Structure 1
Amino acid sequence: MKKIPLIIGFLLIFVAFAGGNSALAAENGAGFTMEALLPDNQLDNSSFFNLKVTPDSQQELSIRFTNLEDVPLELSVSPNPAFTNKGGVIEYSDYDFPKDSSAQYTISELFSKPQTVKLKANETKDVTFQLTVPKEPFSGTILGGFYALKAADDTEASDQSISIQNRYAMVMGISLIEDTETAVSPELKLNAIKPGLDNGHTAIFANLQNIQPQAFGEMTVDAKISKQGSKQVLKETKKDAQEMAPNSNYDFAIDWKNDPIEAGDYHLSMVATSGKKVWKFEEDFTIVNQEAEKINQQAVGLPEPDYTWLYILIAVLLLLILLIVAFILGRRKRKSDEEEK
């Protein structure tokens, strides 16, 4: 039987933030552990790097990796920035994630380059990264994590028709702060509103941006869309447990319920709540014909258009044309007959 090269990606992530034992990942099949070797400027007893740093300084940070397997393994380790993914969850999986317009610095900018770590069977090894704190002071928190991705492990199914690829990763958190006395309050901003596709389905996206260097969570977002000048709600999406990384943005998706996007003038009413913080947004936006048609053509799950009335109209027009032609030809024939007489 010819083998079908179907690859199933399975990503297990253990994030070491706010305590916890990194060895937990081994219980879930990662096959390795990572431990932060905490320096003197650690702020607390957390298992991740929670550091108070000073401007224009340098230091080395080390992570201890242990291979729990009886075979060698290879890890790609990178100092990644924290960002908010499209689901409204803080994530650390992309070293090259674009820098937010409100961010002063990112973790990737402050640390040395990613490394490839090779561990022999049951070997323990310390891996060191260089942290360079800029001369210009920063406020709030710079958040990220050392992201360790295990090299692909290909496992063939028993019928040898499917190739399954398991990917495992762990994240050791990094939190940098210079001023521990001044509290920074998060601030939410509404940016562009535009139509698009969410997993292939029609949606309206409202870009939310946390413009302050302070993470927050437990956010509820309730978004309603109506036609401009109308109070009737066309579509509404409400989501709980949303998170925002410091200085980050994401597109909040408002489900269009598998209906086609129609051109027109709309109004967005949105309320976001996190703790005692409440943000209210009222914004008009317009969808043009070309934009709507392109999205509808690419969407999945849209109902097939009903052309029945179009077919009836065409049939009526054709019949009318035939009647007119027959009438004209009939008049000409009668006229010709009269002239002959």
Structure 2
Amino acid sequence: MVSQRIPIFKYLLAIIVTFGVAFFGISLAHVSASNTPDLAIAPIYSANQRAKNGIFDLTVKPNTNQTLQLKVANLSKHDQKIEIVPTTAYTSNGGTIALDRRKVPSEPSLKVKFTNLVDKKDQKKIVDVPANEVRKVSFKVHTPKEPFDGVVVGGLHVQSIDGNDVSAKKGVSLKNRFAYSMAVVLKESKKTAKGNIKLGSIKPGKVSNQIKIKSKFVNDKPAVISGLQVKTQITEKGKSKLLGQTNQEGMSMAPNSNFTFLNNWHSNQIKPGTYHLKAQFKTNDGQHWQMEKDFKVSLADATVLNDHYNPWIKSAILVMLMLLLFVIAYVWKKEYEKRHNLLS
């Protein structure tokens, strides 16, 4: 560990770091409980750093060791205990790349997770950082034996777990918690990988008392998709009347990830039946996709989602299904006993 006092200009670290991260369309996931940052982080660049862009942006080779060194600055007037854990990039349901989770949504196409490349002893580090000082923290990474295509994206999630900064509000203790995620991008090939979007499952749901059609968007390639624009239209199958339309811009997707996109539904009622969703995707760098898919809304879905829904209806449906299963089992048992008696 290295200790050093922080001159005034060190306060700029929190700003400098954001530029490189924004370049890749990856958010820092900075969370705070007040307007004054208590932490700042910055990478220590190694010889294989591709550009000094505020993140770990590395060219690596198969089956090699890489040491990542991170500076953590305590900008507060009290000592802090800092927790740092490696994470794997995923796509949040808001359509942004996030680096704040240990466990990410399952995606079969994701073959190389950054968290699996980090040495076991470095899966969590607790560091004490005195007030107005800096600590250097190292993480060992071992690349896969087999070459990988595209990029592997992850992060080092840095969070204060110190409880010294406590304020009282109406008798409740509130702790200021600060968190940053330092992006890590590993690449072996000089070629720029291209993402690919697929349309997964579609089902109705309710969000904030509004009916939404939830569709899963999948990026099944090891590439970051940024500047994503999405336009969707929903109709009843075989008809042209628009029942829902959604336009959204400025989204991004992590490599080999998926997220749930909320499609608008222009009514507070939905009927059982078969519907059709048409989706158009476009990126700022000229990639585009267009796809269509049917989906069904069952009687049970409509009963639960419509405004007249009574919670007791769901219970009644469940009871009826259980009774039906009981009757089927009883009839089957009697039939089995009858045949058994005939044969005996």
- Following the alignment from structure 1 to structure 2, what is the Cα–Cα distance between the partners of residues 149 and 287? 43
- Following the alignment from structure 1 to structure 2, what is the Cα–Cα distance between the partners of residues 189 and 99? 15
Compute the displacement of 1:99 (Å).
4.2
> Which protein has the larger Cα radius of gyration, Structure 1 or Structure 2?
1
Amino acid of the structure 2 residue aligned with 1:84: T
1:138-149 equivalence runs, <5 A: 138-149=148-159
Task: Give the conservation status (yes or no) of the 8 Å contact 2:31–2:177.
Answer: no
Amino acid of the structure 1 residue aligned with 2:268: D
Is there any run of 5+ residues in structure 1 with no aligned partner, and where? 1-12, 297-301, 306-341
Aligned to 1:58: 65
Of 84, 91, 113, the match for 1:84: 91
1:205-244 equivalence runs, <5 A: 205-244=214-253
Task: Give the conservation status (yes or no) of the 8 Å contact 1:18–1:47.
Answer: yes
Identity %: 27
Task: Give the conservation status (yes or no) of the 8 Å contact 1:186–1:214.
Answer: yes
1:3-18 equivalence runs, <5 A: 16=18, 18=20
Aligned to 1:175: 185
My pick for the range that moved more, 285-294 or 131-140, is 285-294
Task: Give the conservation status (yes or no) of the 8 Å contact 2:194–2:224.
Answer: no
Amino acid of the structure 1 residue aligned with 2:109: S
Cα separation, partners in 2 of 1:197 and 1:125, compared to 1, 3 Å: same
Cα separation, partners in 2 of 1:120 and 1:200, compared to 1, 3 Å: farther
Aligned to 1:135: 145
Compute the displacement of 1:16 (Å).
3.8
- Following the alignment from structure 2 to structure 1, what is the Cα–Cα distance between the partners of residues 222 and 64? 20
Task: Give the conservation status (yes or no) of the 8 Å contact 1:25–1:32.
Answer: no
- Following the alignment from structure 1 to structure 2, what is the Cα–Cα distance between the partners of residues 303 and 239? 30
- Following the alignment from structure 2 to structure 1, what is the Cα–Cα distance between the partners of residues 35 and 96? 22
- Following the alignment from structure 1 to structure 2, what is the Cα–Cα distance between the partners of residues 97 and 116? 22
Compute the displacement of 1:29 (Å).
1.8
Amino acid of the structure 1 residue aligned with 2:64: S
TM-score normalised by structure 1 residue count? 0.76
Cα separation, partners in 2 of 1:257 and 1:228, compared to 1, 3 Å: closer
The aligned length equals: 283
Look up the SS of the partner of 2:177 in the other structure: strand
- Following the alignment from structure 2 to structure 1, what is the Cα–Cα distance between the partners of residues 194 and 109? 14
Cα separation, partners in 2 of 1:98 and 1:39, compared to 1, 3 Å: same
Of 25, 41, 47, the match for 1:40: 47
Look up the SS of the partner of 1:262 in the other structure: coil
Task: Give the conservation status (yes or no) of the 8 Å contact 1:36–1:63.
Answer: yes
Is there any run of 5+ residues in structure 2 with no aligned partner, and where? 1-13, 23-27, 311-344
TM-score normalised by structure 2 residue count? 0.75
Task: Give the conservation status (yes or no) of the 8 Å contact 1:16–1:173.
Answer: no
2:129 corresponds to 1:122: no
- Following the alignment from structure 2 to structure 1, what is the Cα–Cα distance between the partners of residues 305 and 128? 46
Compute the displacement of 1:58 (Å).
1.0
Aligned to 2:167: 155
Task: Give the conservation status (yes or no) of the 8 Å contact 1:25–1:33.
Answer: no
- Following the alignment from structure 1 to structure 2, what is the Cα–Cα distance between the partners of residues 193 and 77? 37
Deviations 1:100-125 (A, max 9, x none): 21112111111131222221222321
Amino acid of the structure 1 residue aligned with 2:44: L
Larger relative strand fraction: 1
Aligned to 2:333: none
Compute the displacement of 1:133 (Å).
0.4
Cα RMSD, aligned residues only: 2.6
Compute the displacement of 1:277 (Å).
1.5
